[in-house]
């Protein structure tokens, strides 16, 4: 079992390489699909409804308890939704700029998936050496890569809005681009302050997420306690970066019809949807890795030899991720959407100064402490 885990993560054999790539994409796609279900269910609960509870599978629907459970929980719903998107007519409006219109969803989804390469979500020890459970081991620049690539996702939005050749998608795209630029700054500055604390001078793994998780030992060692302001600013920025409520300017359906994907339908719209949820997964993963101790749990060994502890670590990471996906929905039904000028004001006049002051304070603290 230990050997298998080792091979699955590290073996250069082609079948293991293929297996881990396919597994990761499948897992993320499934998470994206089921976070749509989570979104629908949690929205329903918050509004006093039940949510999707009727979809059954013809082959397993009749099994006494399992079938009922699957139907009541809506667990077949994502598959049904996906199937629907797959079989709908893929309409191509006459007034769009066609090549870019087709390219836009791809540009939106590709960075979201590419970032996964650098995402560590567990660790194990094999023959005395520690390895991260991730697609790439030498992820020293992990966090740089993730920030660089995941912000490329906005090109998908910009391209979609522009190629749709109508005013509301265009407005949505412009808002999306402006918003991303504004919040990326504050986000980067908070990350700096955290890295200042977690990577010692002269260390090799300066920007590695694994090193950052290693730094957060024990419950009170989590960065969220050492860097509360940074965590708060980062959290707000994650909401803004993933275009989630209350910052969903690019697709604010009350004033912009459907925002940047107004002209999209069928599977192309589905791809935008998956891209948004993948961004949510990545944003929350980053927050978990940087502030919530990654795969660490207090009082439970989640890394080390054997295969139980590493799997516990992965499970802990997954649980934290689930909580975050729920938190996105929870916030969505709590805070009304900001006006566009408010979004800009919060970004430039509140979050950026706060992030700068926070960084300066940590600079001063470390300079003073020596």
Partner 1 sequence: MAIKVVERRPLTLLERTYLPQILAGLKVTWDNMMRPSVTLQYPEERPAIPKNYRGVPTLVMDPNGREKCVSCQLCEFVCPPKAIRITPGEISEDSANAHVEKAPKEFEINMLRCIYCGLCQEVCPEEAIWLQSQYSMTGLSREAMVNNKVKLYELGGTLPDGHHKWDKKKEEAEKQAGGHH
Closest approach, Cβ 330 to partner 1, in A, equals 6
Closest approach, Cβ 351 to partner 1, in A, equals 12
Closest alpha carbon to 210 in 113, 140, 114, 150: 140
Closest approach, Cβ 128 to partner 1, in A, equals 46
CB distance 229 to 354 below 8 Å: yes
Q: Find the angle CA(329)-CA(333)-CA(338) to the nearest 5 degrees.
A: 105
d(C-alpha 37, C-alpha 50), whole Å: 12
Q: Where do the H-state alpha helices sit in 115-200? A: 142-150, 153-163, 167-198
Closest approach, Cβ 138 to partner 1, in A, equals 40
Closer to partner 1 by Cβ: residue 47 or 254? 47
Closer to partner 1 by Cβ: residue 45 or 126? 45
d(C-alpha 82, C-alpha 139), whole Å: 33
Question: Residue-wise over 341-369: b if at least 16 C-beta within 10 A, else e?
Answer: eebbebbeeebbebbeebbeebeeeeeee
Closer to partner 1 by Cβ: residue 48 or 370? 48
Closer to partner 1 by Cβ: residue 87 or 333? 333
Closest approach, Cβ 328 to partner 1, in A, equals 12
d(C-alpha 168, C-alpha 164), whole Å: 9
Closer to partner 1 by Cβ: residue 331 or 352? 331
CB distance 33 to 82 below 8 Å: yes
Closest alpha carbon to 36 in 260, 254, 240, 272: 272
d(C-alpha 136, C-alpha 36), whole Å: 28
Closer to partner 1 by Cβ: residue 77 or 262? 77
Closest approach, Cβ 333 to partner 1, in A, equals 5
C-alpha neighbours within 13 Å on the C-beta side of residue 64: 0
- Contact residues toward partner 1 (CB under 8 A) are 42, 44-50, 232, 330-331, 333-335
Closer to partner 1 by Cβ: residue 202 or 336? 336
d(C-alpha 200, C-alpha 145), whole Å: 20
d(C-alpha 74, C-alpha 274), whole Å: 18
CB distance 179 to 246 below 8 Å: no
Distance separating the N- and C-terminal Cα atoms of the chain: 46
Q: What does the block give as tokens for 297?
A: 């749990």
Closest approach, Cβ 120 to partner 1, in A, equals 30
Chain-centroid distance, C-alpha 205: 23
Closest approach, Cβ 58 to partner 1, in A, equals 20
Closer to partner 1 by Cβ: residue 50 or 361? 50
Closer to partner 1 by Cβ: residue 215 or 332? 332
DSSP letter at 257 equals T
Closer to partner 1 by Cβ: residue 185 or 232? 232
Closest approach, Cβ 225 to partner 1, in A, equals 17
Closest approach, Cβ 320 to partner 1, in A, equals 18
């Amino acid at each position: 079992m230990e050997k298998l885990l080792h091979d699955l993560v590290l073996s250069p054999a082609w079948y293991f390489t293929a297996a881990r790539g396919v597994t990761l994409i499948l897992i993320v796609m499934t998470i994206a699909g089921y976070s749509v279900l989570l979104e629908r269910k949690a929205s329903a609960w918050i509004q006093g409804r039940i949510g999707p509870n009727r979809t059954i599978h013809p082959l397993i629907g009749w099994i006494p308890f399992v079938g009922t459970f699957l139907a009541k929980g809506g667990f077949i719903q994502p598959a049904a939704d996906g199937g629907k998107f797959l079989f709908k007519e893929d309409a191509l409006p006459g007034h769009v700029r066609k090549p870019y219109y087709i390219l836009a969803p791809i540009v939106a989804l590709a960075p979201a998936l590419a970032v996964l390469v650098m995402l560590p979500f567990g660790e194990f020890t094999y023959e005395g050496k520690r390895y991260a459970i991730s697609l790439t081991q030498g992820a020293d620049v992990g966090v740089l890569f993730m920030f660089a690539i995941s912000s490329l996702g906005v090109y998908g939005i910009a391209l979609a809005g522009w190629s749709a050749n109508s005013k509301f998608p265009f407005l949505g795209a412009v808002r999306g681009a402006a918003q991303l630029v504004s919040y990326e700054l504050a986000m980067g500055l908070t990350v700096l302050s955290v890295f200042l604390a977690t990577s010692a001078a002269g260390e090799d793994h300066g920007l590695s997420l694994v090193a950052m998780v290693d730094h957060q030992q024990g419950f009170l060692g989590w960065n969220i306690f050492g860097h509360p302001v940074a965590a708060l600013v980062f959290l707000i920025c994650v909401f803004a970066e993933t275009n989630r409520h209350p910052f969903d300017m690019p697709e604010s359906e009350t004033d912009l019809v459907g925002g940047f994907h107004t002209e999209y339908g069928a599977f192309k719209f589905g791809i935008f949807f998956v891209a948004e949820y993948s961004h949510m997964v990545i944003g929350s993963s980053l927050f978990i890795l940087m502030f919530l101790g990654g795969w660490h749990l207090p009082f439970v060994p989640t890394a080390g030899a054997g295969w139980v502890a590493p799997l516990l670590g992965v499970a802990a990471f997954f649980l934290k991720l689930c909580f975050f996906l729920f938190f996105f929905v929870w916030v969505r039904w709590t805070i009304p959407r900001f006006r566009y000028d408010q979004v800009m004001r919060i970004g430039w006049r509140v979050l950026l100064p706060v992030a700068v002051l926070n960084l300066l304070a940590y600079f001063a603290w470390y300079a003073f402490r020596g």
